[in-house]
Structure 1
Amino acid sequence: MGTNGDNAGSEPPTSPTATVSNAGVPPSPQTTAEATEKTKNVNQEIPGDGTFLVGREIRPGTYRSAGPAEGGSPCYWARLKGATGTDGETVANGAGKGQATVTVLDTDKAFQTTGCQTWKRLG
C-alpha cells in the first residue's frame, strides 16, 4: 500500500478565511425620522430657554417670539460673542412683556433666551 496523495479518511481542507476589523472606524450615522424632524425644527425654531450655538444648533436669521412664557416673567434674550458665560460676551440683549424680534447674525457665537415662548424663524 503506497500513498498516492489521496486524503482518504480525512476531512477536506478548509478554505482560508479573512478577518475584517472595524477598529478605529466610527459607525455610520443613523438618520431617523425623529432626528430629521428635530434638526428641521432646531433650524426653524428656538425653544424659550437655553443658550444655543449659532451655526451649530441654530441658523443665523431673524426670529420672533410671541412674548413671555406663562409665569409672568419678562422674556429675556441676548446675542453673544462667546459662550463661556464670562462678562463682556453680550453683543445685544433685551427683555420685555410683549412680542420680540431678534436678528441673530452669523458673526454671533450664541443666542441666549430665558422665559420666552418659542422663537420662530421668519422667512
Structure 2
Amino acid sequence: MKVIKLNCAAFAVVGMLAASWSCAQGGNAVDEKVASTSAAAMSSRAKAAKAANRALARKVLKALVRTKGIDATRIFVKAVDGDITLSGTVPSEEQTPLAIKTAQAVEGVKSVRDVLRLSTQPTE
C-alpha cells in the first residue's frame, strides 16, 4: 500500500513538472513570436525608409535634369531622411549654386550637402 501511495505521489510530482514545463515552453513560443514580429516590423520600416530615400533622390535628380543651365549627366544624388548629398562633377562653376538651389526647392528636402567638383574634361 505504501508503495502505491509513493508511486501516486511520484506521478503527481512528475505531472506537475510536465505541466509547468509545457507552460514555460508556451511562454517562450509567445516571446519568440513577439520577437519575430518586432524584427519583421523593424525590417519593414527599414525597407520603407530606403524606398522613401530612393524616391526623394529620384525627385531631386529629375528636378536637376529639368533645370535649364544644369548638366546633370555627371551629378549623383544621395538621400538619407531628407538630407541630400550632391556629388560628381559639373562643367562650369555657375552650375553648382544652381544645382543646390534646385535641390533645396524639391519637396521633402531638409538640407543639401554639396560635394560637387568642377569637371576638368572639356565639354563636347
- Structure 1 length as normaliser, TM-score? 0.29
Higher relative contact order (CA 8 A, sep 6+): 1
Question: Which is strand-richer, 1 or 2?
Answer: 1
Larger Rg: 2
- Structure 2 length as normaliser, TM-score? 0.29
